[in-house]
Structure 1
Amino acid sequence: MKKILLFLTKGFELIEMSAFVDVFGWNKTFNKIDIDVITCGFNKEIKSTFNVTLTVDKVFHEINPDDYDAMVIPGGFGYFGFYEEAYDERLLNLIRDFDSKKKPIATVCVSALILGKSGILKGKKATTYHLMDGRRQRQLEEFGAIIEGGSVVKDEHIITSWCPSTAPYVALELLETMTSKEYKDYIKEIMGY
């Protein structure tokens, strides 16, 4: 059975997290392919954007990266403390570990900045939140990423996107990466995307 590590930082966006739970839940139910989504954070309870608290499956010190086949990081709001944990060196090292093994890493919206900060986007095509006069995209470019214009950008095993509405499409792209286009297309169709 494959496993996805869904890493949640303080101030993460629920819509960006839930898309992965739903897409892979539908996959397990209708494609009959077991890919578990395991939530993780630095603390057992994580307060999301708009102050909804979620209890994660695993706390950071309980995980072994070798137990996971892919990693997902939803974006979040600075207003709700997202950047307080986003650039934590422990998370950056975890990202580097997944990257060194070429395991899929998927981000939504501003969480691409975390990948940028880790150094794994140097010379790679990527995107991030595209509004706010392009400020976040310029930040990502300063980390060495090559900014692409699409709403979802894949370069090798790394998937980035530009706003919360892209979360289901990032999840579907990750599903294709972990299974096949046929399985992704079926889930996309029956979920109405």
Structure 2
Amino acid sequence: MELTRPREELRKAGARVDLVSLSTGSIQAMNGDIDKADTLEVDKAVADVSADDYDALVLPGGTMNPDNLRVDGTAVAFVQAFFRAGKPVGAICHGPWTLIEADVVKGRTLTSFPSIRTDLRNAGATVVDEQVVCDEGLVTSRNPDDLDAFCAKLVEEFEEGRHPVLRQGATA
């Protein structure tokens, strides 16, 4: 749901959306990390793309996806490149875990699923408990209950485009 819903809303707004993953083939989407949802075809592997190929990035939540992404150096570098370029990034639920590993949360205000808020604070972020938070093109949200607000803000920020490259921890 945290993957498919933003993808649908961005497509409705006219965006071209690719599903980029650690490898090609198909992935098993999950609802609540327990119930199987749709099987989705991956468009491209992260090793085969560049942030230059895209205008924005969405990091869906759940626990398994962000946990796998944050330990993959190529995925982390991909995320860092979006911040270096000032491109909009969205992350929901546990999605900000990957942002911590990418060292891009220090000095920013975010929200997330409650269980990773201490991790965000320890990485230098200010954490608030709101449906959606936007900080210079970084859109974060807490959980699937906030998808309406998250998707609306994603579309708005993605339409706005690049933001000043400020307060980022990513290095060249």
TM-score, structure 2 as length reference: 0.81
Q: Which residue of 2 aligns with 1:186?
A: none
| Structure-2 separation of matches of 1:48 and 1:87 | 19
Greater helix proportion: 1
Unmatched 5+ residue regions in structure 1?
Answer: 1-14, 29-34, 181-193
Q: CA deviation at 1:149?
A: 2.3
Q: Stretches of 4+ moved more than 4 A in 1?
A: none
The residue identity in structure 2 corresponding to 1:89 is G
Change (3 A) 1:152 1:116: same
Q: Does residue 82 of structure 2 align to residue 101 of structure 1? A: no
CA contact (8 A) 2:109 2:126 kept: yes
Question: CA distance change for structure 1 residues 101 and 151 in 2, over 3 Å: closer, same or farther?
Answer: same
Question: 1:48, 1:86 → 2: CA distance?
Answer: 18
User: 2:29: which partner in 1?
Assistant: 48
Q: Deviations over 1:145-171 (max 9, x none)?
A: 111121211110111111122233222
Trace 1:131-146 onto structure 2 (pairs within 5 A).
135-146=115-126
Alignment match, 1:155:
135
Question: By how many angstroms is 1:18 displaced?
Answer: 1.3
Shift of 1:116: 1.6
Q: TM-score, normalised by structure 1?
A: 0.73
Equivalent residue runs for 1:1-193 within 5 Å? 15-28=1-14, 35-44=15-24, 45-49=26-30, 50-52=35-37, 53-78=39-64, 82-130=66-114, 135-179=115-159
Compute the displacement of 1:36 (Å).
0.7
Provide the aligned C-alpha RMSD in A: 1.8
Q: Which has the larger radius of gyration?
A: 1
SS at match of 1:116: helix
